[in-house]
Amino acid sequence: MLFLYNLLLLLASQIVKLLAFFSPKIKLFVDGRKTVFQTLTDKIKKEDKTIWFHAASLGEFEQGLPVIEKIKTQFPNHKIVVTFFSPSGYEVRKNNAIADVTVYLPLDTKSNAKRFIEILNPEMVFFIKYEYWPNYLNELKIRNIKTYLISGIFRENQAFFKWYGGFYKKALETFDYFFVQNENSKTLLHKLSFNNVKISGDTRFDRVVSILERNNSLDFIEQFKNNTTTIVIGSSWPKDENYLVNYINNYVGNTKFIFAPHNIKTEQIQELKNSISKKTILFSEKENQKLEDFQVMIVDTIGILTKIYSYADIAYVGGGFGTAGLHNILEPATFGTPIVIGPNYSNFAEAIALVNLGGCISVTNQKELNDTFDLLLQNEDERYEKGHICSTFVQMNKGATSIILNHVLNETLN
């Protein structure tokens, strides 16, 4: 099976090179890997001690950040290496301040895995949430390097738990310890005879709690909001925006609206702006403007959505009307903001929990969205109650980082 896997991987590596001529994202995927080994050789010396974290994309990096920060504090003489599989993660966080080296993870071939780990020679490795690359994991096992899965989550429909899952199960056998998010994940691993498992919870809660300790002020949002009730629409997709724009165009009142779309391509931003009948301004056009005179702002940049959520009286989080996946609802939740989402959230435990608790409202059509916004805008007590549920939920679920760190430190010292 490993032979077949390596053969398919070799074929896939050639296919993506061809696809790179037609797709800018795949081109980044291919070109970004060309200089990885040279970068590592330049920045990692043989005498360096290293700790390696791997994240599939941006969400996993943010999820693992609390652990990375604590490990960096506990091991100040080690170099922190972060790898990404996806361009959407690497391109946004390639200049992060926490890691000493940030690179793409080379494709999971035997030769790449051996060369990569020879250069790095990490003392310990953390895979965040998922991504199980057999050749890398086998090489780590051969070298007896401590390997952990953090914020792991397992479901019955994954290949590990199918009749044909033997090959994938072998990848799991290389981990020294699993830190999982919930009881179901632990139970599923127990069924495969893995007992090196601990329920730590989700490190994203620690991540969003730490946001409250930072300066989240934005002068231009302060000016735009102008002490007016504001709905922040985060990480929206066109399917979300169709409903939201319809509501905004028919809305009569002083409420302000801030869009921070998932995709900020110029043509899509302009299309969104043109569809809105209210007075609208782009973030990129804000200079020398009286922002308080506008009712809608579209943020055509990245990296500031979390701070913008701190100004929200109501948050709509995108992705729930499509198939791409619901975006992060914990960021607005930590600020004590009531949240509205679309109908597709069944794969997101935090969304299921907050819907059940009443802090988050799922809507399935235009009428439900209209009625929900109207209710929250007209009833301040309702907003406060749902927002309080959200912030309490976040606070009650923090602490995963401490569980992981205590275990790792105990193993390191003993």
Q: How many of the other CB atoms lie within 10 Å of CB of 192?
A: 13
Select which of 47, 60, 118, 271 is catalytic.
60
Q: Which string of b and e fits 398-407 if b means at least 16 CB within 10 Å?
A: bebbebbbee
**CA–CA dist 98, 151 (Å, integer):** 19
Query: How far is residue 339 CA from its own chain's centroid?
Result: 18
Q: Which string of b and e fits 326-359 if b means at least 16 CB within 10 Å?
A: bbbbbbbbbbbbbbbbbebbeebebbeebbeeeb
Q: How far is CA 134 from CA 8, 62, 168, 207, in A?
A: 13, 24, 8, 29
**CA–CA dist 271, 348 (Å, integer):** 30
**CA–CA dist 130, 85 (Å, integer):** 11
In 3D, which of 40, 47, 159 has the Cα closest to residue 101? Answer: 40
Active site residue 380: no
In 3D, which of 153, 147, 204 has the Cα closest to residue 174? Answer: 147
Catalytic residues: 60
